[in-house]
Structure 1
């Protein structure tokens, strides 16, 4: 069954909406505006949006096993307390690269946090993928540095890791070794620049990979073999990432962006930067909380 047409459910107008997260414990969709330096929480039942200012550019937000929240800021990993609005530093993985920022992240099925960095100026190949093990950020040596990392994302069994090279237009699939590290890789899919830039990846319960297309006005669904199965079109150009939510995990929430659009494009796309939603046939997967001291 094809997905329903996306509709704007929250007129937030984000400059660079990203990092959607469905948090079942409070039945809400969390996301960030990177360039607007805001963390957002959307309650779909009440139709209410609550926002917090961040001290630097936030790339993502994820739950922690102890009940807290972790946010990836430009300056590193921070614990975030919505009750007080405070961001407490936890770990700075790249103090030697002040021009980098954290961009995207996921939690593996075993609870290990994986996250990526990128050159904020979008020029230098300084973006790396890290995993948090024994409380420390360990660079994934098998994954070459690129300008903009997105993801990673994991197959439901945790044995395949997907990494997106956004400017290179390539999605790579890595076999995950028994010790949890990425090993042998294969080219999973290539995106023609005319179709947009591959952005955030998300995996559903059937093991299919969903990719937002920045500048492509769509999200794509690929089979585990890399076959394009479905394209969902949006009324805005910049679709960044989706997250599955709702009681049945069949509502796909999509963050979008106004970044890079000129006045004429913004006038033609009044919903740019909004949070969208559409229904899908195959549900998503529950988000695993981060085990900060994962043995790795």
Structure 2
């Protein structure tokens, strides 16, 4: 796709850009494998600020109701501090030489859900975990997913979607019984990665390897496929402006001949890249 509609907002290509989330006045994302986190304010000319360098995989970060900046890092949950350090809160007990965190999100009830996966080339073994953010426990909720992405939580406060990336599908489940999964969508020509639910309850999915975003209605009807100038998009987010910014992270890892935007975090006005959807 032509790069004309999109603007790179990261200052450099990331090995594995991931985890777009809101901040109180902007957005953040991570370079997962390098353990770096960046923040940026839409509408400014300022470059993103690198706020943390953890020296271990960093999947995403999000403020909880108490104002703590919670993150998944290494093989568990940490709190990120303003001085750039982190405080361990809970750990899966997995061997960090074999496993790492991947993606996650805070649920409507305040619990923290995240996925782990194998990263050393050995037999795949992914899982989805739940941590009670009051500090009362960390539990494995769902196994058998080689590379879990998400989850994202649906507007009803009970449902959630989990991307089973290696199988090319998105699963529908519930907070009450996450192991009871059903099909939501099968992705064509790529692997479903990070997801976002917008103000109209539409589900946006970054399709790794296919250079596009898929947009679904709540009933799983595919509403649009939005082409991107990055081969490996990893997460997506919409801002709150009257004409929202569509933000996308991407990865340069594994590409023998990356294009000019591969690995960058990119942005474009909604009205230009998805005019048929309305906002």
Q: CA deviation at 1:43?
A: 2.5
Q: CA deviation at 1:125?
A: 3.4
What does residue range 239-254 of structure 1 map to in structure 2 within 5 Å? 239-247=233-241, 250-254=244-248
Is contact 1:151-1:164 (8 Å) kept?
yes
2: CA distance, partners of 1:117 / 1:98: 13
The superposition leaves residues 117-154 of structure 1 with CA deviations (integer Å, 9 ceiling, x where unpaired) of: 111135533211111125211121xx332211101111
2: CA distance, partners of 1:39 / 1:271: 19
Number of residue pairs the alignment of both structures matches: 266
Aligned counterpart, 1:189 = 185
Q: CA deviation at 1:48?
A: 2.2
2: CA distance, partners of 1:184 / 1:5: 41
Q: CA deviation at 1:175?
A: 3.7
Tell me the SS of whatever aligns to 2:201: coil
**Which of 233, 252, 258 is matched with 2:227 structurally?**
233
1: CA distance, partners of 2:17 / 2:198: 21
Is contact 2:126-2:148 (8 Å) kept?
yes
Q: CA deviation at 1:71?
A: 1.8
**Which of 27, 30, 52 is matched with 2:28 structurally?**
30
Query: Per chain length, whose mean CA-contact separation is higher, i.e. which structure has more relative contact order (CA < 8 Å, sep 6+)?
Result: 1
Q: TM-score under structure 1 normalisation?
A: 0.83
Alignment RMSD: 2.1
- Structure 1 residues 121 and 146, CA, compared in 2 at 3 Å: closer, same or farther? farther
The superposition leaves residues 21-46 of structure 1 with CA deviations (integer Å, 9 ceiling, x where unpaired) of: 111x2x12111001222111123324
Is contact 1:176-1:183 (8 Å) kept?
no
Q: CA deviation at 1:277?
A: 1.5
Q: TM-score under structure 2 normalisation?
A: 0.87
The superposition leaves residues 80-108 of structure 1 with CA deviations (integer Å, 9 ceiling, x where unpaired) of: 113x1111111112335641111001122
Aligned counterpart, 1:74 = 74
What does residue range 141-152 of structure 1 map to in structure 2 within 5 Å? 143-152=142-151
Aligned counterpart, 2:20 = 20
- Structure 1 residues 279 and 157, CA, compared in 2 at 3 Å: closer, same or farther? farther
1: CA distance, partners of 2:251 / 2:161: 23
**Structure 1: 5+ residue stretches without partners:** 284-296
